[in-house]
């Protein structure tokens, strides 16, 4: 079994900064496109630049198969394309906050057979 799911149709989500240096903050939501869901992380694309820091905890909200998913985690890796205005990031889950979502993604991988090979076409169009 593969450890990631890639969708043919882009999956949208909302991201916000949840906490900075241990303090809860009230930040605006920004729409992101989830490109790849892995068992420990999500790769997403955004028009915004996000700080890469262990002191910033982000919150991602999305909906998969009528299930509202809320994840908390860190963005410590940018995989941005220098020839584009979009920025690609890896969002690493903080497991203790939402173990049920991680379990859900693992079960979804099994149902979907680990993703769709035609998804690369959809990803290139973003």
Q: What is the pLDDT of residue 65?
A: 80
- pLDDT band at 5, cuts 50/70/90? low
pLDDT, tens digit (0-9, with 9 covering 90-100), for 9-30: 778 999 999 999 999 999 999 9
**Is domain 4-124 given the CATH code 2.40.10.220 in the classification?**
yes
Identify the weakest region by mean pLDDT among 12-16, 41-45, 59-63, 116-120.
116-120
Question: What b-and-e string marks burial along 72-89, b requiring 16 or more CB atoms within 10 Å of the CB?
Answer: bbbbeeeeeeeeeeebbb
pLDDT, tens digit (0-9, with 9 covering 90-100), for 103-124: 555 555 555 554 443 333 333 3
CA 44/CA 41 separation, integer angstroms: 10
Q: What is the pLDDT of residue 122?
A: 36
For the chain, the structural domain boundaries read 4-124
């Amino acid at each position: 079994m593969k450890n990631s799911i890639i969708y043919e149709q882009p999956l949208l989500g909302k991201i916000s900064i949840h906490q900075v240096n241990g303090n809860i903050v009230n930040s605006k939501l920004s729409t992101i496109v989830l490109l790849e869901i892995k068992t420990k992380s999500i790769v997403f694309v955004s028009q915004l630049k996000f700080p890469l820091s262990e002191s910033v905890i982000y919150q991602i909200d999305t909906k998969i198969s009528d299930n509202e998913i809320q994840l908390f985690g860190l963005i410590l890796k940018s995989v941005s394309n220098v020839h584009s205005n979009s920025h690609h990031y890896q969002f690493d889950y903080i497991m203790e906050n939402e173990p049920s979502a991680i379990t859900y993604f693992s079960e979804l991988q099994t149902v979907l057979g680990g993703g769709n090979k035609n998804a690369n076409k959809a990803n290139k169009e973003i």
